[in-house]
Chain A
Amino acid sequence: MNAAEPLVRVEDLTKHFPVMRGLLVQRRVGAVRAVDGISFTIARGETLGLVGESGCGKTTAGRTLLALYPPTAGRVLIAGQEIFQARGREMLAIRRQAQMIFQDPFASLNPRWTVNAIISEPLRVHHLLASEAERTERVQELMRLVGLSERLVNRFPHEFSGGQRQRIGIARTLASNPSFVVCDEPISALDVSIQAQVVNLLEDLQDRLGLTYLFIAHDLSMVRHICDRVAVMYLGLIVELADRNELYEHPLHPYTTALLSAVPLPDPVKDRQRRRIILAGDVPSPVDPPPGCRFHPRCPLAGPICSQEVPAWRQVAPEHWVACHKV
């Protein structure tokens, strides 16, 4: 395969959840436009951050991208393979390559399975190792890799702390040797003291195994730490996509600016001096998004055009894209 070809290519990914009404006969009365046509690429070995506030569609985007939800429209290519067309064996081959780390380590591990069974599940599903002994050996190797004692191999998830459970989840994700991992807020359910450990582990694993990440998060400082490029989502759409430093130093979209102004600064003096942009109102309902630019009802710069025309997605600098009339 061409080295310049990105590992992951997402084109116009759309996911609408139907809203049904009616007691006897269910009628479709509308749709939650959770993800409404997003496109991006991720290069091999790169980490793309996907940020935005709760309910903007980040998680749905990540799950639809791996075909865990049936997509409404769009195309996703992972290593040149179209995931939405794949069936049977082809699908299994893609699943082996593209994995996911989940947000809640208390819900993402089967409470009735031992750590051994959980981590070896991908090995069994993909028939990677023939014998039980080989699988257990591989499980112990994976446990060492994510920093867990291999003695704990026959324990149950409830015997572990949140951070340890997340490590178990990561070990399971890595069992089938994937090249692409969707990290769906892997640290937001953890204590702050544990977050750094898990992020460092993820970075370390990326270096050692050459992984490509889609890192979904709402913690902007963490995203700045781990990501190479960052996409900002608002109400089902990507409003800005840029190189990490470019985005943090020269944010263009008013929503990005507002988000960044909410990141606490370590220096309390500076933190007090800077101007915070407080957005008015709430995120509108994705069932009935505002016309024109979806951000215009809350935007401090909004003008007449913003409520009429959908802003075009344009490139303003190398590696810097934005969708806004006022930039």
Chain B
Amino acid sequence: MSTETAPAPNRIADLALDELETPPLSLHQLAWRRFRRHKLAIFGAIVLVLLFGYAFGGALVLPESYANHTDTTLRLQAPSLAHPFGTDTVGRDNLARAIYGGQISLLIGLTAVIVETVLGILIGALAGYYGGFLDSLLMRITEAMLNIPEIFLLIVMAKFFGGRIPDYELFGRTFSGSVLLIVLIIGLTSWMYLARIVRAEFLSLKENEFVLAARATGTSNLRIIFLHILPNSIAPIVVSATLGVANAILAEAYISFLGLGVQPPTATWGNMLDSANNYLEAAPWMWFFPGLLILLTVLSINFLGDGLRDALDPRSRAA
């Protein structure tokens, strides 16, 4: 039926092995491929970029003095063209306050999580890897910290250290020392769960043969902890850290509510919410916009964390 035709020049069988094989992808390329497929994570990343753009880009449009400018004739105005987010009880523009408050809230969320993650990883890794007496000691400390109600710890530390940290400058803006204090307080009271997660990961991973192989090679304990075991426990750490950002933003709101957090007139999304407390029905825009911003931030960070966890695991299937 068919006649012999000359084989097409690029028949698969004629290709050299090198041409057949897809070039190997680097770890980052693989991770990016997997991340790209995660639609919600992409959504989260975009929203986060927008939120950061809003908080840090908005500052270029509206000066900080405007955010703190009071005009009692304009108090409690509903959203309008002049004040898209409305005004608060002393007539400050809520849009501008949400911009400067967003800077503080996002910074607190991120830096508190850095403190929390560093502490949690260090304590969990040391306890899990070395075991024995060190493990008992560190875990008893962890449990003791867990047994003290967090809010009590927050209050005691805020009261004790309050006012002792001087103001400092960052990004051309003066930050109240209370911001740094809040970061430390939140970081120091939230590392315990992460430490236990990391310890559990280390306990199981250190029994793997690849750790034994590293030891047989002569690899130092520090290298084993940070280069062999830690990368394998990255997934729960990323998840915990993303949840931590959300918790830190919320924790900042608690402390502010008790009058121990970031001191007015410096705005944060948390203390904006708190000042809306008495106007829930009278001026719903006062809680709606900061609340929405917190919700969007927490939600997109969680989506992002989900996507990162899948993307960072080379064994996950979507490649």
Contacts and interface: CB of A to CB of B under 8 A. Distances in A.
What's the dominant secondary structure at chain B's contact region? helix
Interface in B213-233: 213-220, 223, 228, 231-232
Nearest to B233: A112
A111 B232 contact: yes
Interface residues of A, number: 33
Contacts of B314: 111-112, 156, 158
B216 A111 contact: no
Nearest to B27: A114
B21 interface: yes
Interface residues of B, number: 25
Contact of A169 (B26, B213, B220, B231): B213
Interface in B294-319: 314-315
A146 to B, nearest CB: 16
Interface centre among A104, A108, A112, A122 (most CB of B within 10 A): A112
A104 B218 contact: no
A24 B313 CA distance: 38
Contacts of B209: 102-104, 107-108
B24 A158 contact: no
A95 interface: yes
Contacts, number: 70
B225 to A, nearest CB: 13
A154 B314 CA distance: 13
Contacts of A152: 24
A112 B232 contact: yes
A68 interface: yes
A-B CB proximity, top 9 nearest: A95-B218, A108-B209, A107-B209, A154-B24, A112-B231, A100-B216, A110-B210, A92-B218, A156-B314
Interface of A: 63, 66, 68, 91-92, 95-96, 99-100, 102-104, 107-112, 114, 121-122, 125-126, 151-156, 158, 169, 172, 176
Given A109-B210, A154-B26, 10 more contacts: A92-B218, A95-B216, A99-B217, A102-B213, A107-B210, A112-B232, A125-B218, A126-B218, A155-B24, A172-B217
